[in-house]
Structure 1
Amino acid sequence: MRYKKTITFSLILGTVVMLSAFMPQQEPKQEPKATNLKVLPKNISHDDLDKVMDGFKLALGVKCNYCHSPRKDNPKKLDFASDENPKKEIARDMMRMTNKINKKYFHEKDKEGKLMNISCVTCHNGKDEPVTIKI
């Protein structure tokens, strides 16, 4: 009786293993490709793009909808590729500006070997508009 259970179990297990070999294999899920990138590299990974965008949110103290417009088909979601919000082009201009400044003036490393440069937070300090200090 015990051998019948072992043989039955082995046959069922063997059948499952054989059938699984003929099951269609799923393609590895590809990460979504960003579109309409004009300043950032077109081949930037999804994770790196998220890090850049998180940096903008922290530096300006804003949320994604500050620069990104709602989707037409679902206003509760954002259309990241859209250029409808003028603040998105301002952000691009700011990235171009900081890239130029860093390339021209901040190309040397500090004592620890870290490249010194400016970024959004240099002027914005967590505010959507930079605050000018009057002296």
Structure 2
Amino acid sequence: MRYKAIVTLSALLGTVIMLSGFMPKEDKKASNLKVLPRDISAEDLDKVMDGFKVALGVKCNFCHAASKDDPKHLDFASDAKPEKEIARSMMKMTNRINKKYFHVKDVDGPKALLAVNCITCHRGQAHPDEK
């Protein structure tokens, strides 16, 4: 009888442990967001960052500093690089332009096609004024 109880409990415990591996992992929330919405999803944040990379022809380390603990990884929350603050001011600028001149409220709506964004001026260059 005792043997059956141990086997049953072991089987249940093993099943729970195995199934826990299939549980969806919770999204790690981004921190130090000053212009983008604090509740932005990881997927939407990745889309925005990918847009910056294409528009400026750069990689993540253009704005994000290396981690102090492990220089091979980036510290996305750090404000150590001035380019990050410049990016924030550029985002505010394009938001003001779009609100004032194009009245863009819905980023997926038809007026969004008229909107000014990073690639409008940068055209794949980090410093468009240099060329």
TM-score by length of structure 1 reads 0.76
Greater CA deviation, 19-28 or 65-74? 19-28
Gaps of 5+ in 2: 1-7
Identify the match of residue 127 of structure 2 among 97, 104, 129.
129
How far did residue 20 of structure 1 move?
Answer: 6.1
Q: Give the corresponding residue for 1:23.
A: 16
1:56–1:120: 8 Å Cα contact kept in structure 2?
Answer: yes
Say whether 1:84 aligns with 2:77: no
Instruction: After superposition, give the CA deviation of every residue in 1:79-130 in whole Å (9 maximum; x if it has no partner).
Output: 000000000000000000000000000126xxxx611200000000000012
Question: Is 1:104–2:100 an aligned residue pair?
Answer: yes
TM-score (norm: length of structure 2): 0.78
2:58 counterpart SS class: coil
Q: If each structure's helix is expressed as a fraction of its own residues, which one has the higher value?
A: 2
Q: Which residue is equivalent to 1:11? A: none
Deviations 1:5-43 (A, max 9, x none): xxxxxxxxxx69x62697356354101100000000000
Q: Distance in 2 between matches of 1:120 and 1:71?
A: 26
Match of 1:8 in 2: none
Q: What is the 5 A alignment of 1:1-135?
A: 19=12, 23=16, 26=20, 28-107=24-103, 114-115=110-111, 116-131=114-129
| Paired AA for residue 16 in structure 2 | M
Q: Tell me which moved more, 122-131 or 86-95.
A: 122-131
Counterpart Cα distance in 1 of 2:40 and 2:12: 40
Tell me the distance in 1 between the aligned counterparts of 2:14 and 2:71.
44
CA distance in 2, matches of 1:118, 1:48: 19
Task: Indicate the SS of the match to 2:78.
Answer: coil
